[in-house]
Amino acid sequence: MSTDREAQFEAFLGQHDQHQWTAALDQLSPSIHEVDRNASRIWFAFHPLVLADAIRDAQDAGELERSLWLQGRYRLADQADSSHWFLYGHRFWPETASAVVGAACEEPTSVELAGLIGHIADRVATSVRTDRSLVVGITAVALMTLQQVGMRTFAAAAEASARPARASRHTPDQIVRARARDDSQGLLGFLKGERKSWTVTFDETDPAGRFSLIQSQELTTAAASDPRDHRARDPRCHEGAIPAQCRSAFCGTCWVGVLGGAEKLSPVADLERRRIREFGYIDTDEPTPIIRLACQAQAFGAVSIVIPPWNGILGPVRLEVST
């Protein structure tokens, strides 16, 4: 029966932990188009398996929220078909979700995670008649979503999925070039010095999803200068588009993913690196990683970021899992 096969498929995914998923992503990374290479890694940082496991195992959801200082929309099950809106591959979500459900009704075609992702991505690429590199990332996201939310929730979301309205109309290459491009400073731009102005994009699908930053400003400082009321979009936003409370790397509220322009941000200092690890957001020695604390990251050019829907302190949970 298909339900038995679905259970086997779900059990197969459940055998893989965060380290195995990271290894699979590293293996697949060269085959993911540049437009979604960082975006895929950012999604996995925004929706870590350890958080899903903590939610599943919690006897008291309220106590878990308090103990981890969770704020915002941290349950992937509540946003299974929209959490990946910032991936180019998001536009192919209906076909990708359908392909995953279809694969779950069959015997697993591979006992190796990266191979399974690639196999389903081939199906999606054929279905939507696009380059395979544009759907590998969203396929990995779909399978991780299934692992976290379960087949029933995933299948229901897949059945209800419609063509996303929130998607960039530009080609993948156009988006990549736009992320690398800096604002023109005019004919006498060289005279502006520290008064150069750059654009910070926080929603590539919305022309209004950006604010201005003066050379060397921290991202949160620049965001706070934006007079628009962003609280309707996210109640955590008290000043500007980026949620922030302390601006001193203490609260972790202002963590962001960097889609483009990571090299235009100041290198991670010891304080930021230590705090990011304590929050459990990312553990890396890269000088300009894809996850930053916006209150510590100074910009020296135009950057494109994405704001996670939640914040908290996962460090203790990650430490418990690793030991």
CATH number at residue 213: 3.10.20.30
Counting the structural domains of the chain, the total is 2
> Residue 1: what pLDDT?
43
Between 319 and 304, whose confidence is greater? 304
What's the mean pLDDT when you consider all of the chain? 92
Between 165 and 226, whose confidence is greater? 226
Q: Is the pLDDT of residue 115 over 90?
A: yes
Residues 302 and 236 in one domain: yes
Between 194 and 28, whose confidence is greater? 28
CA dist., res. 308 & res. 305, Å (int): 10
Residues 202 and 242: beta-carbon distance below 8 Å: yes
Q: Last residue of some domain: 108, 128, 160?
A: 160
User: Between β-strands 303-306 and 197-201, what pairing exists: parallel, antiparallel or unpaired?
Assistant: parallel
**C-alpha 185 chain-centroid distance:** 31
> Residue 167: what pLDDT?
73
Give the pTM. 0.94
Host domain of residue 189? 181-322
Tokens in use for 207? 């022309």
- Residue pLDDT, tens place only, 166-189: 777 899 999 999 999 999 988 766
Residues 208 and 142 in one domain: no
Residues 186-208, mean pLDDT to the nearest whole number? 85
- Residue pLDDT, tens place only, 144-165: 999 999 999 999 988 877 777 7
> Residue 163: what pLDDT?
73
Residues 201 and 113 in one domain: no
Q: Is residue 176 a part of any domain in this protein?
A: no
Residues 196-216, mean pLDDT to the nearest whole number? 96
> Residue 47: what pLDDT?
97
Residues 18-43, mean pLDDT to the nearest whole number? 97
Residues 185 and 260 in one domain: yes
Reduce the DSSP state of residue 299 to 3 states and report it.
strand
Residues 122-140, mean pLDDT to the nearest whole number? 98
Residues 256 and 195 in one domain: yes
Residues 59-65, mean pLDDT to the nearest whole number? 92
- Residue pLDDT, tens place only, 35-47: 999 999 999 999 9
* Residue 218 DSSP symbol: B
Calculate the alpha carbon distances from 305 to 177, 236, 286 in Å.
15, 17, 17
CA dist., res. 275 & res. 280, Å (int): 8
Neighbours of 200 (CB within 10 A): 25
> Residue 316: what pLDDT?
79
Q: Is residue 175 a part of any domain in this protein?
A: no
What's the pLDDT band for 107 if we cut at 50, 70, 90?
low
Residues 223 and 241: beta-carbon distance below 8 Å: yes
Residues 185 and 155 in one domain: no
Q: Is the pLDDT of residue 65 over 60?
A: yes
What's the pLDDT band for 192 if we cut at 50, 70, 90?
low
Q: Last residue of some domain: 131, 160, 189?
A: 160
Q: Is the pLDDT of residue 323 over 70?
A: no
Q: Last residue of some domain: 128, 160, 192?
A: 160
Calculate the alpha carbon distances from 42 to 106, 240, 284 in Å.
30, 22, 13
